[in-house]
Amino acid sequence: MTDHPHRARRFLTRGTLSVALVLALSGALFAANAKFAQGSSDRHPQDLAELAKAEESRVERLSTEVDDLHADVVGLTTEENAATGTEIGEPSLGYLVEGGLVPVQGSGLTVRLDDAPADSPRRDDTSPDVLVVHQQDIQAVMNALWAGGAEAMEIMDQRIISTSAIHCAGNVLRLHGRIYSPPYDIRAIGDPAQLRRALSASTPVQLYVRDSQRVGLGWSLSDSSASSPLNLPAYSGPTDLQSAQVPAGTEVLPGLAEAEARERDQSSRARARSAQELP
């Protein structure tokens, strides 16, 4: 058989070019990965749980920065007012407490809610939804405590203000950009006896208490006296309200319609008397 050295040379040349091309592309890929990796020295999250933890840490860091900047703004405003001789009235203490702008201390009540344990009674013949703490359970406790005269409230380590919104996904609580798992502690400053009576008068709360006795949901109350008071921190976070909507059927200003009707009736009577007095 006749050899064909030129074919062998052509095959060798093609193979060499292919290997060189693969090596060049690999080198470009490695260089690009190295460049992206140099963009940040932090370890990037590899799954959803790590991403959530990273975002929670970022929220805590930004909240601390917000507190520091707020303190700077207050200090600069005070200095400017002192330099210009401008006097600005201070908001009342009640406004500061209700707005969560200052830390508070006092006697009160702590409510703890928790999921049912794995060995809870009657677990096999109970819906899984009954065995966990839901958003409406937390809201029911909060509403009852407000109705019982709570002056300030905190869930976990977060002060509750008028724009606070809680959201539960499964057994995970989201509040002010942070994530919490049960048990959930709700602390309220006020008269402990009145707060307990308000919880007892709340139908949704008592339904939860019934399930706690039936399937083992966590439910406990503990009073805090003046000698061992609750300490609630000030709210840390933005206070801007982006949007709000009044639920359908909710009376915005109770008694306003009746007052307007009385005013119209009085005006009509006054006009009628004026017409009778004319010659």
Split at pLDDT 50, 70, 90, the class of 12 is: very low
The winner for highest mean pLDDT among 116-120, 145-149, 178-182 is 145-149
Structure tokens at 214: 């039936």
- What's the confidence (pLDDT) of residue 237? 73
- Going by pLDDT thresholds of 50, 70 and 90, the confidence category of residue 218 is very high
Q: What is residue 4's predicted lDDT score, i.e. its pLDDT? A: 44
Residue 254: Cβ within 10 Å count? 8
CATH number of 103-232: 3.30.70.1880
Intra-chain end-to-end CA distance of the chain, in Å: 140
How large is the C-alpha radius of gyration of the chain? Answer: 33
- Residue boundaries of the structural domains of the chain: 47-81, 103-232
* CA 202, 162, 248, 167 torsion-angle sign: negative
What's the rounded Cα separation, in Å, for the pair 71 and 26? 53
Peptide bond into 183 cis (omega under 30): yes
Average pLDDT of span 141-147: 96
- Segment 10-23 mean pLDDT: 53
Tokens of 180: 């919490």
| Mean pLDDT value across residues 127-135 | 88
Give yes or no for a contact between 157 and 233, defined as CB atoms under 8 angstroms apart. Answer: yes
Of 42 and 159, the one with more pLDDT: 159
Mean pLDDT score across all residues of the chain:
76
> Are the beta carbons of 232 and 224 closer than 8 angstroms?
no
Q: What is the pTM of this model?
A: 0.59
Per-residue pLDDT tens over the stretch 160-196: 988 888 888 877 899 888 889 999 999 999 999 999 9
The pLDDT confidence band at residue 107, using thresholds 50, 70 and 90, is very high
CA 206 from centre of chain: 25
pLDDT above 70 covers a percentage of the chain that reads: 60
